[in-house]
């Protein structure tokens, strides 16, 4: 087959944005078919649950959500926006959890391409200072039927701010397509495709 499936990931401690796209090896067309969001919440009973236990529960939920998405859609390659920089210890902790969650991809034998937040914004909106609203507009206008989150407002269905994370996951794919790592991987795939087509039936 001339198409592969790409998993886009925007990892965060409270919101894990996921997207699934098909990529045509011959035409380089990329189409996002599905987006999904894994959310975690603080325990409502802080007196009973230890903070560390609550954190572990969130990490487990993120890992399980990612693994379930991979098993359901069987992507060939993944692209993730790797969190960088933080202003406090809690932010560093969250970044560490996100990196740990992404490590499950190795256990699932799924190759991972890492992209930076600035690469993600430049590959989509074209600005390193792109706003959340701009990222959502970029993704939802291109793939309106991917499964975005909407709510009713004044009698109309409108997009919610939670779509930011899934939009970033779509943008991560766009950034991944520009990397040398992706070009090398797909070059090998195209070569294999040509060889298979050349073999007589």
Mean pLDDT, each 10-residue run in order, the chain (201 residues) = 94 95 95 96 64 85 96 96 81 87 94 96 96 97 96 90 97 98 90 69 52
* Start-to-end CA span in the chain (Å): 16
Eight-class DSSP state of 173: H
pTM for the full predicted model? 0.90
Tokens of 161: 């701010």
Query: What is the model's pLDDT at position 46?
Result: 55
pLDDT at position 92 is 86
Q: What is the CATH number of the domain that holds 85?
A: 3.30.420.10
Residue 98 tokens, joined: 């996100």
Query: Are 10 and 168 contacting, i.e. CB atoms less than 8 angstroms apart?
Result: yes
Q: How many domains does the chain have?
A: 1
pLDDT of residue 200: 58
What 3-state DSSP class applies to 140? helix
Determine which helix (DSSP H) or strand (DSSP E) holds 60, and give its type and residue range. Answer: helix 51-73
Q: Which domain covers residue 163, as residue numbers? A: 3-198
Q: Rounded CA gap, 55 and 74, in Å?
A: 28
Contacts of 161 (CB under 8 A, 6+ apart): 132, 136
């Amino acid at each position: 087959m001339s198409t592969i499936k790409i998993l886009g990931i925007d990892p965060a401690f409270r919101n894990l944005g996921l997207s699934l796209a098909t990529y045509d090896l011959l035409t380089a067309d990329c189409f996002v078919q599905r987006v999904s969001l894994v959310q975690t919440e603080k325990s409502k009973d802080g007196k009973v649950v230890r903070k560390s236990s609550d954190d572990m529960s969130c990490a487990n939920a993120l890992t399980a959500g990612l693994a379930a998405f991979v098993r359901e859609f069987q992507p060939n390659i993944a692209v993730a926006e790797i969190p960088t920089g933080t202003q406090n210890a809690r932010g560093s902790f969250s970044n560490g959890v996100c990196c740990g969650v992404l490590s499950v991809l190795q256990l699932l034998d799924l190759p991972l391409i890492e992209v930076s937040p600035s690469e993600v914004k430049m590959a989509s909106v074209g600005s390193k200072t792109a706003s959340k609203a701009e990222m959502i507009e970029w993704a939802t206008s291109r793939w309106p039927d991917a499964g975005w989150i909407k709510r009713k407002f004044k009698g109309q269905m409108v997009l919610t701010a939670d779509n930011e994370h899934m939009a970033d996951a779509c943008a991560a794919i766009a950034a991944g397509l520009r990397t040398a790592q992706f070009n090398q991987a797909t070059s090998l795939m195209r070569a294999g495709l040509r060889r298979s087509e050349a073999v007589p039936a």
